[in-house]
Structure 1
Amino acid sequence: MSSITRYLPKNHLSFIMGKLVHLPLPRFIWIPVIKFFSNFYRIKLDEAEKPVSEYESLGDFFIRRLKPGIRPLGNSWAVHPADSVITQLSAIENGNLIQAKNKFYKAHDFLQDSEAFKKYNNGFFVTYYLCPTDYHRVHSPVDGVITKVTHIPGMLWPVNKWSTENIEEMFSINERVCVEIKTDRGFVNAVFVGATNVGYIELSFMPEIKGNHFNVFKPLLKENLNIPIKRGEELGLFRMGSTVVMLYQDGVLPSDKASEVGKLNLKYQNFPVKVNSNFFN
Protein backbone atom coordinates (compact mmCIF):
# COMPACT_ATOMS: atom_id res chain seq x y z
CA MET A 1 0.00 0.00 0.00
CA SER A 2 2.73 2.49 0.95
CA SER A 3 4.69 1.99 -2.28
CA ILE A 4 1.53 2.26 -4.40
CA THR A 5 0.40 5.46 -2.67
CA ARG A 6 3.51 7.32 -3.80
CA TYR A 7 2.57 6.91 -7.47
CA LEU A 8 -1.20 7.32 -7.40
CA PRO A 9 -2.61 10.56 -8.89
CA LYS A 10 -4.03 11.48 -5.50
CA ASN A 11 -5.49 14.88 -6.38
CA HIS A 12 -7.24 13.60 -9.51
CA LEU A 13 -8.60 10.54 -7.71
CA SER A 14 -9.86 12.77 -4.89
CA PHE A 15 -11.59 15.07 -7.36
CA ILE A 16 -13.29 12.11 -9.07
CA MET A 17 -14.28 10.52 -5.75
CA GLY A 18 -15.78 13.80 -4.60
CA LYS A 19 -17.91 13.98 -7.73
CA LEU A 20 -19.02 10.34 -7.43
CA VAL A 21 -20.21 10.51 -3.81
CA HIS A 22 -22.21 13.65 -4.59
CA LEU A 23 -23.92 12.36 -7.74
CA PRO A 24 -27.65 13.20 -7.50
CA LEU A 25 -28.80 9.64 -8.13
CA PRO A 26 -32.31 8.44 -7.23
CA ARG A 27 -32.80 7.97 -3.51
CA PHE A 28 -33.62 4.27 -3.93
CA ILE A 29 -29.93 3.88 -4.87
CA TRP A 30 -28.40 6.12 -2.21
CA ILE A 31 -30.55 5.17 0.78
CA PRO A 32 -29.33 1.52 0.94
CA VAL A 33 -25.75 2.74 0.46
CA ILE A 34 -26.06 5.24 3.32
CA LYS A 35 -27.71 2.64 5.58
CA PHE A 36 -24.99 0.08 4.83
CA PHE A 37 -22.27 2.68 5.47
CA SER A 38 -23.94 3.73 8.74
CA ASN A 39 -24.38 0.17 9.98
CA PHE A 40 -20.87 -0.88 9.00
CA TYR A 41 -19.27 2.05 10.83
CA ARG A 42 -21.85 2.18 13.64
CA ILE A 43 -22.82 5.78 12.99
CA LYS A 44 -25.49 7.08 15.36
CA LEU A 45 -28.24 7.99 12.93
CA ASP A 46 -30.40 9.34 15.74
CA GLU A 47 -27.90 12.22 16.08
CA ALA A 48 -28.35 13.36 12.47
CA GLU A 49 -30.50 16.39 11.77
CA LYS A 50 -32.52 14.57 9.09
CA PRO A 51 -33.65 10.98 8.48
CA VAL A 52 -31.63 8.96 5.96
CA SER A 53 -34.39 9.23 3.35
CA GLU A 54 -33.84 13.01 3.05
CA TYR A 55 -30.16 12.90 2.06
CA GLU A 56 -29.54 13.32 -1.66
CA SER A 57 -26.26 11.39 -1.82
CA LEU A 58 -23.61 9.69 0.29
CA GLY A 59 -21.64 12.95 0.10
CA ASP A 60 -24.64 14.87 1.41
CA PHE A 61 -24.78 12.44 4.34
CA PHE A 62 -21.03 12.90 5.00
CA ILE A 63 -21.59 16.58 5.72
CA ARG A 64 -24.75 16.02 7.75
CA ARG A 65 -25.61 18.46 10.49
CA LEU A 66 -26.51 17.25 13.96
CA LYS A 67 -29.73 17.80 15.86
CA PRO A 68 -29.70 20.91 18.06
CA GLY A 69 -28.31 20.18 21.53
CA ILE A 70 -26.53 16.92 20.58
CA ARG A 71 -23.12 18.57 21.19
CA PRO A 72 -23.75 21.03 24.05
CA LEU A 73 -21.28 23.90 24.30
CA GLY A 74 -18.82 23.56 27.18
CA ASN A 75 -18.08 26.41 29.55
CA SER A 76 -14.27 26.41 29.24
CA TRP A 77 -12.36 29.23 27.49
CA ALA A 78 -11.46 26.85 24.63
CA VAL A 79 -13.47 23.85 23.45
CA HIS A 80 -12.63 21.09 21.00
CA PRO A 81 -13.35 22.00 17.35
CA ALA A 82 -14.41 18.61 15.99
CA ASP A 83 -15.53 15.06 16.66
CA SER A 84 -12.11 13.45 16.35
CA VAL A 85 -9.12 11.77 17.97
CA ILE A 86 -6.20 13.87 19.22
CA THR A 87 -3.06 12.40 17.66
CA GLN A 88 -0.55 15.08 18.72
CA LEU A 89 -0.51 17.69 21.47
CA SER A 90 2.72 19.46 22.33
CA ALA A 91 4.55 22.75 22.75
CA ILE A 92 5.84 24.53 19.64
CA GLU A 93 9.61 24.70 20.11
CA ASN A 94 11.98 26.43 17.66
CA GLY A 95 9.00 26.86 15.38
CA ASN A 96 8.56 23.08 15.04
CA LEU A 97 5.35 21.08 15.20
CA ILE A 98 5.45 17.31 15.68
CA GLN A 99 4.12 15.22 12.79
CA ALA A 100 5.21 11.81 14.15
CA LYS A 101 8.10 10.44 16.18
CA ASN A 102 11.27 12.19 14.94
CA LYS A 103 9.26 13.93 12.20
CA PHE A 104 8.64 17.68 12.34
CA TYR A 105 7.31 20.51 10.20
CA LYS A 106 7.79 24.27 10.48
CA ALA A 107 5.02 26.62 11.53
CA HIS A 108 5.95 29.25 8.93
CA ASP A 109 5.89 26.68 6.09
CA PHE A 110 2.67 25.16 7.34
CA LEU A 111 0.87 28.51 7.58
CA GLN A 112 2.74 30.17 4.69
CA ASP A 113 3.21 33.11 7.04
CA SER A 114 6.52 34.85 7.72
CA GLU A 115 5.13 36.02 11.08
CA ALA A 116 4.22 32.49 12.22
CA PHE A 117 7.43 31.91 14.20
CA LYS A 118 6.96 35.12 16.15
CA LYS A 119 3.27 34.44 16.75
CA TYR A 120 3.29 30.77 17.68
CA ASN A 121 6.77 29.80 18.88
CA ASN A 122 6.59 28.70 22.54
CA GLY A 123 2.87 28.27 22.16
CA PHE A 124 1.34 24.84 21.59
CA PHE A 125 -0.58 22.89 18.96
CA VAL A 126 -3.15 20.10 18.78
CA THR A 127 -3.71 17.71 15.87
CA TYR A 128 -7.25 16.37 15.52
CA TYR A 129 -7.89 13.43 13.18
CA LEU A 130 -11.40 13.04 11.79
CA CYS A 131 -12.14 9.57 10.48
CA PRO A 132 -14.57 9.15 7.54
CA THR A 133 -17.41 8.25 9.90
CA ASP A 134 -17.15 11.33 12.13
CA TYR A 135 -19.31 14.43 12.05
CA HIS A 136 -17.44 16.44 9.41
CA ARG A 137 -18.16 20.02 10.41
CA VAL A 138 -15.55 22.03 12.29
CA HIS A 139 -16.50 24.64 14.87
CA SER A 140 -14.59 27.50 16.44
CA PRO A 141 -12.91 26.51 19.71
CA VAL A 142 -12.79 30.12 20.95
CA ASP A 143 -14.52 33.49 20.93
CA GLY A 144 -12.75 36.06 18.80
CA VAL A 145 -12.45 37.78 15.44
CA ILE A 146 -11.32 36.09 12.22
CA THR A 147 -8.53 38.31 10.90
CA LYS A 148 -7.01 36.27 8.08
CA VAL A 149 -7.74 33.28 5.82
CA THR A 150 -5.12 31.55 3.67
CA HIS A 151 -5.93 28.83 1.11
CA ILE A 152 -2.78 26.90 0.22
CA PRO A 153 -3.07 24.45 -2.73
CA GLY A 154 -1.03 21.27 -2.46
CA MET A 155 -0.91 17.51 -2.57
CA LEU A 156 -3.53 15.21 -1.06
CA TRP A 157 -1.55 12.53 0.75
CA PRO A 158 -3.67 10.28 2.96
CA VAL A 159 -3.37 11.38 6.58
CA ASN A 160 -2.64 7.98 8.10
CA LYS A 161 0.08 6.38 10.23
CA TRP A 162 2.28 5.39 7.29
CA SER A 163 2.14 8.82 5.66
CA THR A 164 2.81 10.80 8.83
CA GLU A 165 5.79 8.57 9.64
CA ASN A 166 7.29 8.47 6.12
CA ILE A 167 6.39 11.63 4.18
CA GLU A 168 8.63 14.52 5.21
CA GLU A 169 6.67 17.59 6.31
CA MET A 170 3.47 16.08 4.94
CA PHE A 171 1.22 18.64 6.62
CA SER A 172 3.15 21.42 4.85
CA ILE A 173 2.75 19.60 1.51
CA ASN A 174 -0.96 18.80 1.61
CA GLU A 175 -3.61 21.31 0.60
CA ARG A 176 -4.90 23.32 3.55
CA VAL A 177 -6.94 26.32 4.63
CA CYS A 178 -5.73 28.40 7.58
CA VAL A 179 -8.18 30.49 9.62
CA GLU A 180 -6.53 32.95 12.01
CA ILE A 181 -8.58 34.09 15.01
CA LYS A 182 -7.64 36.95 17.31
CA THR A 183 -8.82 36.38 20.88
CA ASP A 184 -8.56 38.31 24.14
CA ARG A 185 -5.47 36.22 25.00
CA GLY A 186 -3.69 36.14 21.65
CA PHE A 187 -3.86 34.45 18.26
CA VAL A 188 -5.29 31.02 17.49
CA ASN A 189 -5.08 29.35 14.06
CA ALA A 190 -7.43 26.62 12.86
CA VAL A 191 -5.92 24.76 9.91
CA PHE A 192 -8.06 22.43 7.77
CA VAL A 193 -5.74 19.86 6.17
CA GLY A 194 -6.94 18.01 3.08
CA ALA A 195 -6.16 14.35 2.37
CA THR A 196 -6.78 11.71 -0.30
CA ASN A 197 -10.50 11.82 -1.16
CA VAL A 198 -10.81 14.88 1.10
CA GLY A 199 -9.72 17.76 -1.08
CA TYR A 200 -13.07 19.44 -0.60
CA ILE A 201 -12.65 21.95 2.22
CA GLU A 202 -15.31 24.64 2.57
CA LEU A 203 -15.57 27.61 4.92
CA SER A 204 -19.03 28.42 6.25
CA PHE A 205 -18.33 32.16 6.44
CA MET A 206 -16.45 32.44 3.12
CA PRO A 207 -18.02 30.13 0.49
CA GLU A 208 -15.64 31.26 -2.26
CA ILE A 209 -12.85 29.31 -0.52
CA LYS A 210 -13.02 25.68 -1.72
CA GLY A 211 -10.37 23.01 -1.94
CA ASN A 212 -9.24 20.66 -4.74
CA HIS A 213 -9.82 22.97 -7.69
CA PHE A 214 -7.43 22.27 -10.56
CA ASN A 215 -7.32 25.93 -11.61
CA VAL A 216 -5.90 27.10 -8.26
CA PHE A 217 -2.11 26.96 -8.12
CA LYS A 218 -1.06 29.82 -5.85
CA PRO A 219 -1.94 30.54 -2.21
CA LEU A 220 -4.95 32.81 -1.81
CA LEU A 221 -4.64 35.26 1.08
CA LYS A 222 -7.50 37.28 2.53
CA GLU A 223 -6.30 39.51 5.36
CA ASN A 224 -7.40 42.51 7.39
CA LEU A 225 -10.68 40.72 8.00
CA ASN A 226 -12.95 41.54 10.91
CA ILE A 227 -15.40 38.65 11.17
CA PRO A 228 -16.71 37.94 14.70
CA ILE A 229 -16.83 34.26 15.65
CA LYS A 230 -18.20 32.59 18.78
CA ARG A 231 -17.14 29.39 20.52
CA GLY A 232 -19.09 26.55 18.98
CA GLU A 233 -19.99 28.48 15.83
CA GLU A 234 -19.39 26.58 12.60
CA LEU A 235 -16.15 27.43 10.78
CA GLY A 236 -16.28 25.01 7.87
CA LEU A 237 -16.44 21.41 6.76
CA PHE A 238 -14.70 18.51 5.06
CA ARG A 239 -16.46 16.45 2.41
CA MET A 240 -14.93 13.35 4.04
CA GLY A 241 -12.69 12.80 7.09
CA SER A 242 -9.35 14.52 7.51
CA THR A 243 -7.35 16.59 9.99
CA VAL A 244 -7.54 19.89 11.84
CA VAL A 245 -4.43 21.37 13.43
CA MET A 246 -4.97 24.07 16.06
CA LEU A 247 -2.11 26.43 16.93
CA TYR A 248 -2.29 28.53 20.11
CA GLN A 249 -0.06 31.52 20.73
CA ASP A 250 2.18 31.62 23.80
CA GLY A 251 0.17 33.25 26.58
CA VAL A 252 -3.15 31.66 25.68
CA LEU A 253 -2.77 29.21 28.55
CA PRO A 254 -3.40 31.22 31.74
CA SER A 255 -0.82 29.49 33.96
CA ASP A 256 2.57 27.75 33.70
CA LYS A 257 2.70 26.66 30.05
CA ALA A 258 5.03 23.67 30.35
CA SER A 259 3.02 22.20 33.19
CA GLU A 260 -0.34 22.84 31.54
CA VAL A 261 0.67 21.45 28.13
CA GLY A 262 2.01 18.34 29.86
CA LYS A 263 -1.28 17.86 31.69
CA LEU A 264 -3.30 18.34 28.51
CA ASN A 265 -1.08 15.85 26.69
CA LEU A 266 -1.56 13.21 29.37
CA LYS A 267 -5.30 13.76 29.37
CA TYR A 268 -6.00 13.92 25.64
CA GLN A 269 -3.23 12.22 23.61
CA ASN A 270 -4.82 9.52 21.40
CA PHE A 271 -8.12 10.31 23.07
CA PRO A 272 -11.46 10.70 21.24
CA VAL A 273 -13.19 14.03 21.82
CA LYS A 274 -16.49 15.60 20.80
CA VAL A 275 -16.97 18.99 19.20
CA ASN A 276 -17.80 21.79 21.67
CA SER A 277 -16.66 19.77 24.71
CA ASN A 278 -14.45 21.45 27.32
CA PHE A 279 -10.72 21.72 26.55
CA PHE A 280 -8.99 24.26 28.81
CA ASN A 281 -9.90 27.33 30.87
Structure 2
Amino acid sequence: MSAITRILPKRRLSRWVGKFMHYRGPKFWARATVKSFAWFYNINLEEAEKPYTEYPSIGDFFIRRLKLGTRPVANTWAVHPADSKITQSAPIDDGTLIQAKGITYKLSEFTQDPDCDKKWAGGFFLTYYLCPTDYHRVHSPVDGDITSVRYMPGELWPVNEWSTTNIKNLFSVNERVLVEIDTDLGPVGVVFVGATNVGHICLSFDEQIQGNQKGPHIFQHKFYSPEIPTHKGAELGMFRMGSTIVMLYPPSFRQKFEGHLNLGPSVKVNGPLIK
Protein backbone atom coordinates (compact mmCIF):
# COMPACT_ATOMS: atom_id res chain seq x y z
CA MET A 1 0.00 0.00 0.00
CA SER A 2 2.73 2.44 1.04
CA ALA A 3 4.98 1.94 -1.99
CA ILE A 4 2.16 2.03 -4.54
CA THR A 5 0.57 5.14 -3.01
CA ARG A 6 3.88 7.00 -2.92
CA ILE A 7 4.71 6.48 -6.61
CA LEU A 8 1.24 7.06 -8.10
CA PRO A 9 0.85 10.31 -10.10
CA LYS A 10 -1.93 11.42 -7.77
CA ARG A 11 -2.85 14.73 -9.45
CA ARG A 12 -2.97 13.25 -12.94
CA LEU A 13 -4.79 10.15 -11.70
CA SER A 14 -7.39 12.33 -9.99
CA ARG A 15 -8.04 14.25 -13.22
CA TRP A 16 -8.36 10.96 -15.17
CA VAL A 17 -10.83 9.60 -12.63
CA GLY A 18 -12.74 12.87 -12.81
CA LYS A 19 -13.03 12.63 -16.60
CA PHE A 20 -14.27 9.05 -16.35
CA MET A 21 -16.79 9.92 -13.63
CA HIS A 22 -18.17 12.78 -15.72
CA TYR A 23 -18.24 10.90 -19.01
CA ARG A 24 -21.64 11.46 -20.59
CA GLY A 25 -22.37 8.53 -22.81
CA PRO A 26 -25.70 7.29 -24.17
CA LYS A 27 -28.67 7.48 -21.80
CA PHE A 28 -28.69 3.73 -21.20
CA TRP A 29 -25.02 3.94 -20.11
CA ALA A 30 -25.74 6.80 -17.69
CA ARG A 31 -28.75 5.04 -16.19
CA ALA A 32 -26.89 1.74 -15.75
CA THR A 33 -23.73 3.24 -14.26
CA VAL A 34 -25.52 5.67 -11.94
CA LYS A 35 -27.86 2.96 -10.65
CA SER A 36 -24.93 0.55 -10.17
CA PHE A 37 -22.95 3.22 -8.30
CA ALA A 38 -25.91 3.96 -6.03
CA TRP A 39 -26.45 0.24 -5.38
CA PHE A 40 -22.77 -0.45 -4.65
CA TYR A 41 -22.56 2.37 -2.10
CA ASN A 42 -26.08 1.85 -0.73
CA ILE A 43 -27.15 5.42 -1.53
CA ASN A 44 -30.72 6.37 -0.73
CA LEU A 45 -32.14 7.45 -4.09
CA GLU A 46 -35.27 8.81 -2.41
CA GLU A 47 -33.21 11.68 -0.97
CA ALA A 48 -31.84 12.86 -4.33
CA GLU A 49 -33.26 16.05 -5.82
CA LYS A 50 -34.01 14.28 -9.12
CA PRO A 51 -34.69 10.68 -10.23
CA TYR A 52 -31.43 8.83 -10.88
CA THR A 53 -32.37 8.52 -14.58
CA GLU A 54 -31.97 12.30 -14.99
CA TYR A 55 -28.28 12.40 -14.05
CA PRO A 56 -26.10 12.26 -17.20
CA SER A 57 -23.06 10.77 -15.45
CA ILE A 58 -21.83 9.27 -12.19
CA GLY A 59 -20.04 12.55 -11.49
CA ASP A 60 -23.24 14.58 -11.80
CA PHE A 61 -25.03 12.13 -9.53
CA PHE A 62 -22.15 12.24 -7.05
CA ILE A 63 -22.63 15.98 -6.45
CA ARG A 64 -26.42 15.67 -6.46
CA ARG A 65 -28.47 18.07 -4.39
CA LEU A 66 -31.01 16.73 -1.92
CA LYS A 67 -34.76 17.14 -2.04
CA LEU A 68 -35.94 20.29 -0.33
CA GLY A 69 -36.54 19.63 3.35
CA THR A 70 -34.47 16.42 3.47
CA ARG A 71 -31.94 17.90 5.92
CA PRO A 72 -33.78 20.54 8.00
CA VAL A 73 -31.51 23.06 9.69
CA ALA A 74 -31.32 22.53 13.46
CA ASN A 75 -32.08 25.46 15.76
CA THR A 76 -28.65 25.64 17.41
CA TRP A 77 -25.80 28.16 17.11
CA ALA A 78 -23.85 25.76 14.87
CA VAL A 79 -24.74 22.71 12.79
CA HIS A 80 -22.73 19.99 11.04
CA PRO A 81 -21.42 21.04 7.60
CA ALA A 82 -21.68 17.66 5.86
CA ASP A 83 -22.96 14.10 5.89
CA SER A 84 -19.88 12.44 7.33
CA LYS A 85 -18.08 10.65 10.11
CA ILE A 86 -16.33 12.72 12.79
CA THR A 87 -12.86 11.19 13.05
CA GLN A 88 -11.28 13.75 15.41
CA SER A 89 -12.56 16.46 17.74
CA ALA A 90 -10.56 18.27 20.41
CA PRO A 91 -9.40 21.63 21.73
CA ILE A 92 -6.69 23.42 19.74
CA ASP A 93 -4.13 23.60 22.53
CA ASP A 94 -0.66 25.03 21.80
CA GLY A 95 -1.75 25.65 18.21
CA THR A 96 -1.85 21.90 17.57
CA LEU A 97 -4.50 19.67 15.96
CA ILE A 98 -4.77 15.89 16.11
CA GLN A 99 -4.38 13.91 12.88
CA ALA A 100 -4.51 10.43 14.40
CA LYS A 101 -3.53 8.74 17.65
CA GLY A 102 -0.07 10.02 18.53
CA ILE A 103 0.15 12.16 15.36
CA THR A 104 -0.44 15.92 15.32
CA TYR A 105 -0.08 18.86 12.93
CA LYS A 106 0.32 22.60 13.44
CA LEU A 107 -2.47 25.13 12.99
CA SER A 108 -0.05 27.61 11.40
CA GLU A 109 1.08 25.15 8.71
CA PHE A 110 -2.45 23.93 8.07
CA THR A 111 -3.99 27.39 7.57
CA GLN A 112 -0.97 29.33 6.27
CA ASP A 113 -2.48 32.28 8.12
CA PRO A 114 -0.07 34.43 10.17
CA ASP A 115 -3.00 35.45 12.40
CA CYS A 116 -4.29 31.90 12.95
CA ASP A 117 -3.24 31.75 16.63
CA LYS A 118 -5.24 34.91 17.40
CA LYS A 119 -8.26 33.40 15.68
CA TRP A 120 -8.27 29.72 16.64
CA ALA A 121 -5.53 28.76 19.13
CA GLY A 122 -7.33 27.76 22.33
CA GLY A 123 -10.46 27.06 20.31
CA PHE A 124 -11.89 23.76 19.08
CA PHE A 125 -11.59 21.72 15.89
CA LEU A 126 -13.55 18.86 14.32
CA THR A 127 -12.51 16.62 11.43
CA TYR A 128 -15.30 15.30 9.19
CA TYR A 129 -14.54 12.44 6.78
CA LEU A 130 -16.83 12.06 3.75
CA CYS A 131 -16.92 8.63 2.11
CA PRO A 132 -18.39 7.91 -1.37
CA THR A 133 -21.72 6.93 0.24
CA ASP A 134 -22.23 10.43 1.59
CA TYR A 135 -23.91 13.49 0.15
CA HIS A 136 -20.99 15.61 -1.10
CA ARG A 137 -22.09 19.20 -0.85
CA VAL A 138 -20.81 21.19 2.10
CA HIS A 139 -22.99 23.73 3.88
CA SER A 140 -22.31 26.59 6.24
CA PRO A 141 -22.45 25.49 9.88
CA VAL A 142 -23.08 29.04 11.13
CA ASP A 143 -24.69 32.38 10.40
CA GLY A 144 -22.21 35.08 9.45
CA ASP A 145 -20.29 36.77 6.64
CA ILE A 146 -17.68 35.15 4.40
CA THR A 147 -14.66 37.44 4.68
CA SER A 148 -11.96 35.59 2.76
CA VAL A 149 -10.80 32.38 1.09
CA ARG A 150 -7.34 30.84 1.02
CA TYR A 151 -6.45 28.36 -1.72
CA MET A 152 -3.41 26.33 -0.67
CA PRO A 153 -1.93 24.08 -3.37
CA GLY A 154 -0.46 20.78 -2.30
CA GLU A 155 -0.42 17.03 -2.75
CA LEU A 156 -3.42 14.74 -3.20
CA TRP A 157 -2.71 11.89 -0.79
CA PRO A 158 -5.67 9.69 0.16
CA VAL A 159 -7.25 10.68 3.49
CA ASN A 160 -8.13 7.14 4.58
CA GLU A 161 -7.04 5.52 7.84
CA TRP A 162 -3.75 4.28 6.39
CA SER A 163 -2.75 7.77 5.27
CA THR A 164 -3.76 9.55 8.46
CA THR A 165 -1.62 7.15 10.48
CA ASN A 166 1.36 7.05 8.09
CA ILE A 167 1.71 10.37 6.22
CA LYS A 168 3.25 13.06 8.41
CA ASN A 169 1.35 16.38 8.37
CA LEU A 170 -1.12 14.87 5.89
CA PHE A 171 -3.71 17.63 6.15
CA SER A 172 -1.05 20.35 5.89
CA VAL A 173 0.53 18.64 2.85
CA ASN A 174 -2.66 18.07 0.84
CA GLU A 175 -4.34 20.72 -1.27
CA ARG A 176 -6.97 22.67 0.66
CA VAL A 177 -9.32 25.65 0.63
CA LEU A 178 -10.05 27.65 3.79
CA VAL A 179 -13.30 29.60 3.91
CA GLU A 180 -13.37 32.10 6.78
CA ILE A 181 -16.73 33.19 8.20
CA ASP A 182 -17.07 36.06 10.65
CA THR A 183 -19.67 35.33 13.37
CA ASP A 184 -20.86 36.89 16.62
CA LEU A 185 -18.44 34.60 18.50
CA GLY A 186 -15.49 35.30 16.23
CA PRO A 187 -14.04 33.79 13.04
CA VAL A 188 -15.00 30.26 12.01
CA GLY A 189 -12.88 28.34 9.50
CA VAL A 190 -14.26 25.74 7.09
CA VAL A 191 -11.34 23.90 5.50
CA PHE A 192 -11.91 21.69 2.44
CA VAL A 193 -9.07 19.13 2.23
CA GLY A 194 -8.47 17.52 -1.15
CA ALA A 195 -7.41 13.90 -1.66
CA THR A 196 -6.66 11.38 -4.40
CA ASN A 197 -9.57 11.48 -6.87
CA VAL A 198 -10.95 14.46 -4.88
CA GLY A 199 -8.72 17.29 -6.00
CA HIS A 200 -11.59 19.10 -7.65
CA ILE A 201 -12.89 21.25 -4.80
CA CYS A 202 -15.49 23.78 -5.99
CA LEU A 203 -16.97 26.73 -4.10
CA SER A 204 -20.60 27.62 -4.69
CA PHE A 205 -20.10 31.35 -4.09
CA ASP A 206 -16.88 31.79 -6.10
CA GLU A 207 -16.30 29.78 -9.28
CA GLN A 208 -12.75 31.14 -9.66
CA ILE A 209 -11.49 29.06 -6.73
CA GLN A 210 -11.14 25.41 -7.78
CA GLY A 211 -8.79 22.62 -6.82
CA ASN A 212 -6.50 20.42 -8.95
CA GLN A 213 -6.64 22.45 -12.16
CA LYS A 214 -4.06 22.16 -14.93
CA GLY A 215 -1.19 24.61 -14.98
CA PRO A 216 0.75 26.19 -12.10
CA HIS A 217 -0.76 25.82 -8.65
CA ILE A 218 -0.35 29.13 -6.84
CA PHE A 219 -1.36 30.12 -3.32
CA GLN A 220 -4.28 32.55 -3.34
CA HIS A 221 -5.72 34.70 -0.56
CA LYS A 222 -8.89 36.41 -1.65
CA PHE A 223 -10.80 39.00 0.42
CA TYR A 224 -14.44 39.87 -0.23
CA SER A 225 -15.63 43.46 -0.11
CA PRO A 226 -18.45 43.64 0.58
CA GLU A 227 -18.39 40.45 2.61
CA ILE A 228 -20.70 37.65 1.47
CA PRO A 229 -23.57 36.95 3.90
CA THR A 230 -24.19 33.28 4.67
CA HIS A 231 -26.43 31.37 7.03
CA LYS A 232 -26.69 27.92 8.57
CA GLY A 233 -27.51 25.43 5.85
CA ALA A 234 -26.37 27.64 2.94
CA GLU A 235 -24.31 25.75 0.39
CA LEU A 236 -20.59 26.61 0.48
CA GLY A 237 -19.12 24.14 -1.99
CA MET A 238 -18.60 20.51 -2.95
CA PHE A 239 -16.13 17.67 -3.47
CA ARG A 240 -16.09 15.67 -6.68
CA MET A 241 -15.30 12.58 -4.59
CA GLY A 242 -15.14 11.81 -0.85
CA SER A 243 -12.73 13.75 1.33
CA THR A 244 -12.40 15.75 4.53
CA ILE A 245 -13.64 18.96 6.15
CA VAL A 246 -11.82 20.40 9.14
CA MET A 247 -13.81 22.91 11.18
CA LEU A 248 -11.99 25.57 13.21
CA TYR A 249 -13.88 27.32 16.00
CA PRO A 250 -12.57 30.25 18.10
CA PRO A 251 -11.90 30.17 21.87
CA SER A 252 -15.23 31.89 22.60
CA PHE A 253 -17.03 28.93 21.00
CA ARG A 254 -15.08 26.48 23.14
CA GLN A 255 -15.82 28.46 26.32
CA LYS A 256 -19.52 28.54 25.56
CA PHE A 257 -20.19 25.07 24.15
CA GLU A 258 -17.43 22.63 25.15
CA GLY A 259 -19.05 19.66 26.86
CA HIS A 260 -22.30 20.26 24.99
CA LEU A 261 -21.31 19.03 21.53
CA ASN A 262 -23.03 16.33 19.48
CA LEU A 263 -20.00 14.46 18.13
CA GLY A 264 -21.61 11.56 16.31
CA PRO A 265 -19.55 9.65 15.20
CA SER A 266 -21.80 9.66 12.09
CA VAL A 267 -23.64 12.92 11.48
CA LYS A 268 -25.86 14.54 8.88
CA VAL A 269 -25.51 17.96 7.30
CA ASN A 270 -27.54 20.65 9.14
CA GLY A 271 -27.92 18.38 12.17
CA PRO A 272 -27.27 19.97 15.59
CA LEU A 273 -23.63 20.35 16.60
CA ILE A 274 -24.73 21.59 20.01
CA LYS A 275 -26.93 19.44 22.25
What's the TM-score bracket when you normalise by the shorter of the two chains? over 0.9
Helix, strand or coil at the partner of 1:214: coil
> What secondary structure, in the 3-state scheme, does the structure 2 residue paired with 1:206 have?
coil
Asked if the contact 2:41/2:132 (under 8 Å) is kept, the reply is no
Q: TM-score normalised to the size of structure 2?
A: 0.97
Q: Distance in 2 between matches of 1:42 and 1:198?
A: 20
Is the CA contact 1:27–1:57 (under 8 Å) kept in the aligned structure 2?
Answer: no
Distance in 2 (CA, whole Å) between partners of 1:105 and 1:253 is: 20
- Aligned-residue offset at 1:3: 2.1
> Which amino acid counterpart does residue 62 of structure 1 have in structure 2?
F
Q: Post-superposition shift, 1:86?
A: 0.3
Once the two structures are superposed, what CA deviation does each residue of 1:17-69 show, in whole Å capped at 9, x if it has no partner? Answer: 11111112112112111111111211100000001111010000000000000
- Unaligned runs of at least 5 residues, structure 2: none
In structure 1, distance between residues paired with 2:133 and 2:2 = 23
Equivalent residue, structure 1, for 2:198: 198
- Which runs of structure 1 show a deviation greater than 6 angstroms over 4 or more consecutive aligned residues? none
Aligned residues: 274
* 2:124–2:253 contact (8 Å) kept in structure 1: no
Q: TM-score, normalised by structure 1?
A: 0.94
- Equivalent pair of 2:147/2:228 in contact (CA under 8 Å): yes
Q: What RMSD, in angstroms, separates the aligned Cα atoms of the two structures? A: 1.3
Deviation track 1:106-147 (CA, whole Å, cap 9, x = no partner) reads 111111101111211100100000001210000000000001
Aligned residue runs from structure 1 range 75-94, under 5 A? 75-94=75-94
1:224 Cα deviation (Å)? 4.6
Q: Contact 2:151/2:177 (CA < 8 Å) preserved in 1?
A: yes
Residue in 2 that maps onto 1:72: 72
* Letter of the structure 1 residue corresponding to residue 38 of structure 2: S
Q: Which letter does structure 2 place at the counterpart of 1:221?
A: H
The aligned counterpart of 1:10 is 10
Distance (Å, rounded) in 2 between the aligned partners of 1:145 and 1:38 = 36
Q: Quick one: which amino acid aligns to residue 232 of structure 1?
A: G
C-alpha distance in structure 2 between counterparts of 1:95 and 1:59, whole Å: 37
- Please list, as runs of the form range in 1=range in 2, the aligned pairs for 1:113-128 lying within 5 A after superposition: 113-128=113-128
C-alpha separation between the residues in 1 aligned to 2:157 and 2:194? 8
> Is 2:239 aligned against 1:249?
no
2:241 matched to which residue of 1?
Answer: 240
